[in-house]
A = this chain, B = another copy of it.
């Protein structure tokens, strides 16, 4: 029963870091989305394409892909529906476990990510990394690693 009655508010440094992070991150993400849309993709599509293109055989089980994207099973089902309609991915039945469906990258999907990725990386630089010097980039990496280590424990 301590500390509940009187909340410890954020001081100036803390508020600046947290609100700044929220604002900066959402702004950068919005800009990156605009860039992706020029290639006919959105951020969800891009995440699927990146994961598949880095996977052995350019294929992943639906459940593993959903976990990698922090997406619910139904959310991924519809995401893959949409991308399959556009020819970016295809479904394939697994031979070893007949419960699982594999999402596989099509040639069109490979072409789409190869077209979009350089622009996306360029955006990450222009909207984000270019504003930070090498020390700040390393400090930020350290900080985010510390936060993530805390969230899994």
Residues in A lying within 8 Å of B, measured CB to CB: 1-4, 6-10, 13-14, 16-18, 20-21, 23-28, 30-31, 53-54, 70, 113-114, 117-118, 121-122, 124-125, 127-132, 134, 136-151
Contact = CB atoms under 8 A, between A and B. Distances in A.
Contacts of A118: 2-4, 6-7
Given A25-B25, A150-B131, A20 B124 contact: no
A148 B2 contact: no
Nearest to A147: B24
A147 B132 contact: yes
By secondary structure, the A interface counts as: helix
Contacts of A140: 17, 20-21, 139-140, 143
Contacts of A127: 147, 150-151
26 contacts: A1-B53, A1-B54, A2-B114, A3-B117, A3-B118, A3-B121, A4-B114, A7-B117, A8-B125, A17-B144, A18-B124, A20-B140, A20-B141, A20-B145, A23-B148, A24-B144, A24-B147, A24-B151, A27-B147, A27-B151, A128-B147, A131-B149, A136-B139, A139-B140, A139-B143, A140-B140
